[in-house]
Each structure stands twice: as structure tokens, then as C-alpha cells.
Structure 1
């Protein structure tokens, strides 16, 4: 019976064609990682926009979000996909492990107090690491699969569907959220009106799963290059020391520096510089090139969310949803908005609106 084979099985067994098939697989993995970053960026923009739209004193920040050029997003997506394609699985694995260790250290330090703003900062800064984690996970899970290319094409289709849906949601919210939330006839906007504060928690759980898979894949991808335990120990020992020093340095810098684009660029330079020096001793020349590409990728992702970095500093999180922030016809309480379902909330919206109109008539 005829069965679909991978792309390399359809072509003659030539070394150049095998190399081309591997390049195609790397490109597909990079595209999946770029779409994952696009989903995260779109959801974060929706979250910040809703917070600004519900606060009259934050209208300038809302207009800054709207003023972003739409054609820059596909350029950013394609550029990030190319960077993830050429960075290499080994360097991508190192980037994922470094960010995961830094994120765990930050989250443990948040137990002493409220850290919603710190969570948002992590979500903004993890974008390139998320792309590397998705790429590493696919590379590890699809390694040796007979239909590797077709599986990656299917993954790309699902990622593109999620990415386009997130972008449509962002465009819808940017254009129509204020109108729909005041007229009470759009379920999506009413849902964001009542439950946008849940988005960071949803993102946190999704990112935890993605980075857990990415970390396991990163460790496996790095260990496959070692022929003996002694080689692995010679690599992991200086790497662990380097990561520990980087985490300590980052925590000290966060306490003394203002969270801004300039400070994060300096942080990226220090992190990539530390990994570059480490790989000079225990890495390969190709890894050094991958570190330079990773530096470009980190800066590329920071430029894509530079407005959100500023908003995170001055906003932190959207203000509490109060009746004064909503349409004047609505008298729904915060408890009703947060604890009732969307259908019940919509019915209450309409009932209050009708009651207000009857009062005006009578």
C-alpha cells in the first residue's frame, strides 16, 4: 500500500539533497517558533490595550499601541524565522536553559511579595527564548521520524492558524473594543472586559509547559554530542558556573536599574557575552557564530515589543475594572463581572441598558 514518505525519501539519495532536506526542516522549525512568539506578542498587546482602554488617564499609551505599523509584523515574523533557522540546535538549547534558570530564580524571589509586574516582564523578555525552545522541542521530538518533513509541515499549519487567529484578535480589539464593550453586542470584547485580568495567568501556564518541553529537549540535544561521561562533565561544570554567575548578576542589575529598552539591551549584551566567552573554551567555532546570531535575535525581539516594555514600566497591569471605567449605562459590579459567565454578564448588560432607556422614557 502506498504511504506518504518524507521529502528526502522522494528524492534521489544525493548528499546535496539530504543537506537541502535538513535545511528545509530547520526552516520549518524556525517558522513554528516564530509563530509561537507571534501568538505571545499578540496576546500581550491585547492585554495591555484593554488595560489602557479601561483607564481614561492612559489614553496616550493606547494610541501608541494603535500607531504601530501593521506591515512591520510580517517583517518581524520572517526575520525571526530566519534567525531561528540559522542559529543551530546547540546554541538554541543553551539559550533556553539560560533563560529557564533565570526565570526560575526570578519566580522564587517573588514569593516574598506581589509580582504581577515581574511576571509581565518575564513574558516580554522570553520571546526569543520561547522561539528557541519550540525549535529545540520540535528538533528533538521529530529526530529520526520517517515522516519528519510532513510532520513539521503539519506543525507549521497549526502554528500559522494560531498565529493568524491571535493577530485577528489583536486587530479586532484595537479597532472595535471600545465600541463593542460600550454597545454590549460582541462576545469577544465582553469576555475581555470581564476577564482580561486572567490572561497573564493563562500565558504563564502555557509558557511553563512550553519551556518544560524545551528544557528537556535542550538537555537531550546537548548530551547527544558527548561520547563519554567525562566529556559531559567538562562541558556542564563550567556551563553551570557561568549560568549561576549570570543569574546573580542579573538579579543585582534588576535591583539597581530601571526597566527600559536600554537596560534590557545591556542585559542581553552581558548574557550573550558570557556565553560567548564560555564557548570559546568548551564550544565549537560554529557555536560562536550561533551566539552572534542569538544576539541579533534577542535584539530583534526587543525591538518588536519596545512599546510594551515602556507600558510595563508605567502600567504594570491593567487597573481594576470598575463601573466608572465602563459605559455609563452599565451598573455591573466587579463581583458580577469576574464571577458570572459571559452569557450571564451579557444578559445583565442588556437588562441594565433597557432599564436605563425605560427610565429616560418615563
Structure 2
């Protein structure tokens, strides 16, 4: 059926041809966009519960924007689907490895301060990298499978279901949690009232597992392009040095700045470094995919500014917060 459809579609240049089957690329992009949606909705639910426990219900929800829904949310979702479907496996693997290195470095050098918003900034920054992680993992797990598109289709259906449920939960909590948490007659809000503090540790645990699998898949995917160990060393040596220097620089820069400005500066620095690296060692396809990553990062970070604004608003009230071990 796919060959019959492709007969009507004009042939694309080689540098625009995706790495795998077009249907598989679209389904992988859909899974990645669903993963980003789930992460954002769970973070919003966590912040709503935290804000409600710190402030009065009127103050907690006075300035918060609605969750990513409606026309804007749908446009963002499908933009991310197309971008993640278009980004090649090699650039997606490099994005995953860069974020994994940055996350490990941040974890090793982090100050154990439960009131710090560095963890939330890291979770907001990982949105596009999370989509690339799903892309790498699915491409690695189904590579060479005779009916891989069917497995990815099942994964896309499950991801769509989970994303829709998390979106409904976020809308319900946004609208009804201030009332239901005090009157205690809604099972969902009562459950969140008692177990809501475990949302963020659960999200962190799932992300650690996801990026661990994606990191292994990314290394394996990149090594497929090399015919010898010498070629691999010529690629990995400057890549490791570049990423290490970028990680050190971004840690120093984030200590001086905070909020959305620091996030956008970090994106420009690390994707700019990746672009220079691809201009030096990669192909024109990799350069094009790296430029597309700028759009993907912007599509993730711009709608997520409310997450940082809400957190920064309540971080100045430390007396009523409960210390949690997030990792």
C-alpha cells in the first residue's frame, strides 16, 4: 500500500529523504510529541499541587495560564510531531547524548537545596531532548524488523492514550483542585492530595530510565556510520571535548542568570556548538537537521514559560514547603 501511495508522490532529493520509512518517521515523531505533552502536563499538575499547599487557593491560581490546550496546544503538538519526524537519527542521537552529559554533570555538581529551581529548569529544558530520546530508542529497537511499523503504531496509540489522559487530568486539576482538595469529595483530587508529592520523583525516575536506554541507542546509532575505529575516534574525540566545554560554560552561565533567559541562552549555546560541529564533521543533511532543532526547542520552551513563572512566584515562601528527595 505504501509503494502504491509513493507512486503518486514526486521523488525527493537524497538530502531530504528520511533515514527510515516515512510512516515510521511520522509515528516516531508522534510518540515523541506525546512524551513531551505528558511531561509538561505532569509538571503542571505538580506545580498546581505545590502552589495550593503553599498559598491560598485564590493566590495560587490567580496568574497561572491555562494548560497547553485548545488551538495553540494542538498546533504545538503537530509542529513537534513533524519536526521530530524530520530530524535524522544521527542528530537526534547527538542531542540525546548532549543532554545526558549535561544532566549527569548537573547532578554531580548540584547543591542539595530543595528550594532551588535548577531541577525544574532541567526538566523544562529536556522536552525536545526527550522527544529525540524516543526517536532514537524506537529507531534502535525496531531497526531491521520486518513489521516494525506495526510495533511503532501500537506505541503511538498507547502514547496518544496516555497523553490524552494526562491532559484531561491537568485540565481537571487546574479547574477543580482548589475546591475538591478542601471539600474532599473528588477521588482524583483526594488521591493527588495524599500522593501528589511523589509526582516529581516519579517523573525523574522515568526520565532517568528513558535517557539511559536512549543513550545506549544513540551511541549504537552513531557508530553505525563508521567503518573503522580510527574514523570513530576522529568523530568522538572532538565531540567529547566540545560537549565537555559546553557543559562547563553553561553551568557558569546558569549560576549568573535564572528563568527563561537562561534557558534560551543555553539552547543557543549548545545547539550553536552542535551546528559548528556538524559543519566540521557532519554532512549537509546533519546541518539541516540541526537547524530544524532550533525550531523544535523554541516550540517546546516558549509555551512552557508558565512553568517557570509559577515556580519562581512561590519559591520565595520556604516556610511551608516540604523537603523532598527527588532522586
- Could you state the TM-score of these two structures normalised by the residue count of structure 1? 0.80
SS at match of 1:276: helix
Identify if the C-alpha distance between structure 1 residues 266 and 81 changes in structure 2 by more than 3 Å, giving closer, same or farther: same
For residue 171 of structure 2, what is the aligned residue in structure 1? 171
SS at match of 1:65: coil
Aligned-pair distance for 1:78? 0.6
Deviations 1:42-83 (A, max 9, x none): 000111112222333684552333445731211111111111
Aligned-pair distance for 1:314? 3.2
Distance 1:12 1:186 in 2: 50
Distance 2:104 2:180 in 1: 39
For residue 25 of structure 1, what is the aligned residue in structure 2? 24
SS at match of 1:126: helix
Please say which of residues 247-256 and 13-22 is displaced more in the overlay. 13-22
Distance 2:317 2:21 in 1: 45
For residue 240 of structure 2, what is the aligned residue in structure 1? 240
For residue 311 of structure 1, what is the aligned residue in structure 2? 310
Distance 1:131 1:317 in 2: 32
Alignment gaps of 5+ in structure 1: 1-6, 323-333, 339-362
Alignment of structure 1 residues 87-98 onto 2, 5 Å: 87-98=87-98
- Whether the 8 Å contact between 1:121 and 1:312 is mirrored in structure 2 is no
SS at match of 2:205: helix
Deviations 1:112-159 (A, max 9, x none): 422563222211111000000011100110101111111111000000
Distance 2:207 2:57 in 1: 28
Identify if the C-alpha distance between structure 1 residues 11 and 282 changes in structure 2 by more than 3 Å, giving closer, same or farther: same
Deviations 1:206-264 (A, max 9, x none): 0001101111111111110111111100000000000000000011001111x222221
Greater relative CO, 1 or 2 (CA 8 Å, sep 6+): 2
Q: Tell whether 2:228 aligns with 1:228.
A: yes
Aligned-pair distance for 1:27? 0.6
For residue 39 of structure 2, what is the aligned residue in structure 1? 40
Identify if the C-alpha distance between structure 1 residues 149 and 205 changes in structure 2 by more than 3 Å, giving closer, same or farther: same
Alignment of structure 1 residues 38-187 onto 2, 5 Å: 38-56=37-55, 59-60=58-59, 62-67=61-66, 70-71=69-70, 72-110=72-110, 112-115=111-114, 117-187=117-187
Aligned length, in residue pairs: 315
Distance 1:69 1:231 in 2: 44
Hey, which bits of structure 1, 4+ residues long, moved more than 6 A?
A: 12-21, 317-322
- Whether the 8 Å contact between 2:67 and 2:171 is mirrored in structure 1 is no
Q: Which has the larger radius of gyration?
A: 1
Distance 1:220 1:17 in 2: 33
Q: Tell whether 2:189 aligns with 1:189.
A: yes
Identify if the C-alpha distance between structure 1 residues 58 and 223 changes in structure 2 by more than 3 Å, giving closer, same or farther: farther
Identify if the C-alpha distance between structure 1 residues 189 and 286 changes in structure 2 by more than 3 Å, giving closer, same or farther: same
Identify if the C-alpha distance between structure 1 residues 263 and 12 changes in structure 2 by more than 3 Å, giving closer, same or farther: closer
SS at match of 1:81: helix
Distance 2:312 2:250 in 1: 18
Please say which of residues 242-251 and 115-124 is displaced more in the overlay. 115-124
SS at match of 2:62: helix
- Could you state the TM-score of these two structures normalised by the residue count of structure 2? 0.88
Distance 1:125 1:84 in 2: 16
For residue 294 of structure 2, what is the aligned residue in structure 1? 295
Distance 1:17 1:211 in 2: 37
